[in-house]
Chains A and B, each alone.
Chain A
Amino acid sequence: MSELTWPAKLIALVVKDFRVELRTRYSLNALIMFALVTLFALGVTFTGQNLTFRIHAALIWIMIYFAGLQGLSGGFVKEEESRTAMALRLYAPSSVIFFGKLIFSLLILTILVVFLFPLYYILMNLEITRIWIMLLVLILGIFGLSATSTITAAMVSKANVKGALFAVLSFPLMLPLLLVAISATTVCLGGGDSQALWDSLKIMIAYPVIVTAVSFLLFDYVWNN
């Protein structure tokens, strides 16, 4: 028997979550089905119409947000529902659980966006004028949504009406991020100016860092009480 470092424990938790996810498709199926249905509905509704950059940006982030809502609470909720949370509390340090679940949410949302964004791009004949900045906006947006959903999911996991409570609690927390993500995406698609983009990016960088730091400080209390 040999001792493991903190990152090795973290990797063990993320690998476990992915192994369980791949064998059950608890989160991924819900996420991808919701994204596909929404995308299809949008494609049929807006075929041949010339949408503004802002509407495209809003549709992209609304899809990511709502699809994310379907699956992102899964990590903690499933642990409580299947009564594995007790063993996890007993054997894994809180910091490993928090960052493990955050990384898992990040990866799930990344898979969703990698799947969703190119499909939206093709289906809606999108043109992106600032492709690299668009990628940065997506990465920061995913990070912010994952950080917020991780602490919110931990909070609601012991409640009776988890799904509804997750949506109610996460929406006001995610709204500022969604608004700046929509602004930044609008500029990347060709609308707005560089100053507006830079202002949005500053908020998008600060938001996930602040949320992650505050969540980490609160997590021990939320998880163990």
Chain B
Amino acid sequence: MIIISAENLSMRFGLRGVFKDISFRLASPSSLTVTGPNGSGKSTLLKIIAGLLVPTSGRVRMESDSDEIKAESRRKLMAMVSPEMNFYDELTGAENLEFFMKASGSRLKPEEIEEALNEVGLQGRGDDYLKAYSSGMRMRLKYALAILKQPEIMIVDEPSTNLDASGRKIIYDLMHRHQQNGILIFATNEDDEIAIANERINLAR
């Protein structure tokens, strides 16, 4: 069982305080949604949990069967989907998936890549360069990478950004499935998405 606990997280950018004293504890399987107006620090909080930003004070602790998981090992357990995160335009969709999986330590078979692309509705588009992808297809590719990684912890910033109705259905199914086995943390203000999570943190500006 994986446990994530945030202890009194605070974040400032220069003189501007973003949020203060955020604490929570999640044990798998579970889910948490972070809500709040624009600029309240939802994406910042997710980045801190993912280890991409260091909080001004407080800390994020992760445990597996009571043993603390060190920072470098955390990334192996985690996948993140965010509109801020880009893949390489000069590579094809399949090459991007292959590269990121290799960088994180896993070699994939071509059929595994094809299967993940099928799952997010990108069948037959793996050999296209990313620069030919629409913004919705790019978002779907990020979910394909998250599927391939099979993470214990999935972090999603604005889950349905740029997605059409069929894309939303695919990722809502994925989020429902994930929260039954692992930990799902996502930031949104969409009512449909808020309803998916078991727990909620609301950040006020």
Residues of A within 8 A of B (CB): 1-4, 8-9, 12-13, 16, 19-20, 23-24, 82-84, 86-94, 96, 224-225
Contacts and interface: CB of A to CB of B under 8 A. Distances in A.
B91 to A, nearest CB: 7
B99 interface: yes
B91 A88 contact: no
B90 interface: yes
B102 A82 contact: no
B110 interface: no
Nearest to B73: A93
A1 B95 contact: no
B112 A1 contact: yes
19 contacts: A4-B105, A9-B102, A12-B103, A16-B88, A16-B103, A20-B91, A24-B90, A82-B86, A84-B87, A86-B84, A86-B85, A86-B86, A87-B85, A88-B103, A90-B75, A90-B78, A92-B100, A92-B103, A224-B51
A198 to B, nearest CB: 42
Q: Which of A84, A86, A90 has the most CB of B within 10 A?
A: A90
Interface of B: 50-52, 54, 72, 75, 78-80, 82, 84-91, 95, 99-109, 112, 148
A4 B78 contact: no
B202 to A, nearest CB: 25
Contact of B90 (A19, A89, A91): A19
B90 A13 contact: no
A93 B51 CA distance: 12
A107 B100 CA distance: 22
A91 B106 contact: no
B86 A9 contact: no
Nearest to A225: B54
A4 B78 CA distance: 17
B84 A91 contact: no
A48 to B, nearest CB: 45
A84 to B, nearest CB: 5
Given A2-B106, A9-B103, A96-B103, 4 more contacts: A82-B88, A86-B52, A87-B86, A225-B54
